[in-house]
Structure 1
Amino acid sequence: MQPIMQRLFILPLLFLSLTFLTTCNQEKEEVIEIERVIDGDMEPGLIHTVYFWLNDDVDEASAMNFEEGVSRLEGVPTVKRFFFGPAASTPTRGVTDNSFDYALILWFDDVAGHDVYQTHPIHLKFVEEQEAKFKRVQVYDNVLSK
């Protein structure tokens, strides 16, 4: 599991476990403190999330070529963290959209790092070589805080 996914899984599990333990042992007046689990390398920054819908005629070989192209984006020096994969087959809910083929999540130190990425030769080459495969691309950028 990726570190960010581990945190997203561990924190709620830890909270529920501690809540259960405290309600089961109410006669005990011991105070239980919840430690905040934080990745020591985590700093505020910018998250750049890109959702890709590929054209219907993209075959397996072309999809593999796309995946290889995406993996090269990790080589842009301002990319602090890199996550990439297909849509998860989670249950359908009113707020869930897993109609995309792939998601790319990049973590930058700041907006300036993102801006360097946008004009970096590796990114420009990726767009030039791969954009014919895109049916749709949707980007969401957000700033992180502690």
Structure 2
Amino acid sequence: MSKDRLAHNVFFKLKDATPAKVQELVDACKKYLNVQPGIVFFAAGPLCAELDREVNDRDWHVGLHLVFVDKAAHDAYQDDPTHKKFIDENKPTWAGVRVFDSYV
């Protein structure tokens, strides 16, 4: 098993992408997903509308970026009750979710 840090990046596409709904999801990320042990970096925010090059993937509204000390911390986060509460409360607002995990 690798001891490398693990980056967990999640991109949410909302059913209602009004600025207020985008901010609600950003706020929920900050409330529920920055409290688990093993997180060394956390950020959540909206798509940067000013960056619109051909290579920019723009099919999402809120990005969540976490780096964990290792894969074990990530795995514990997935089972954390606060993470599960975030999903239960916010999943109905999602039109789609894409997850990208990598060792860093």
Q: What is the TM-score normalised by the length of structure 1? A: 0.62
Q: For the residues of structure 2 that align with 1:62 and 1:130, how far apart are their CA atoms?
A: 11
- In structure 1, the gaps of 5 or more residues are 1-43
Distance in 2 (alpha carbons) for counterparts of 1:83 and 1:60: 18
Alignment check: 8 A CA contact 1:84 1:104 kept: yes
User: Deviating runs (4+, > 6 A) in structure 1?
Assistant: none
Q: Flag the structure with larger Rg.
A: 1
Q: Which residue of 1 aligns with 2:46?
A: 86
Higher RCO, 1 vs 2 (CA within 8 Å, ≥6 residues apart) = 2
TM-score by length of 2: 0.85
Cα offset, 1:60, TM superposition: 4.8
Paired-residue identity, %? 31
Q: Flag the structure with higher strand content.
A: 2
| C-alpha separation in 2, matches of 1:143 and 1:110 | 8
Q: How many Å apart are 1:50 and its aligned residue? A: 0.2
The correspondence for 1:67, drawn from 5, 26, 39, is 26
Higher helix share: 1
Q: Cα distance, 1:61 vs. partner?
A: 4.5
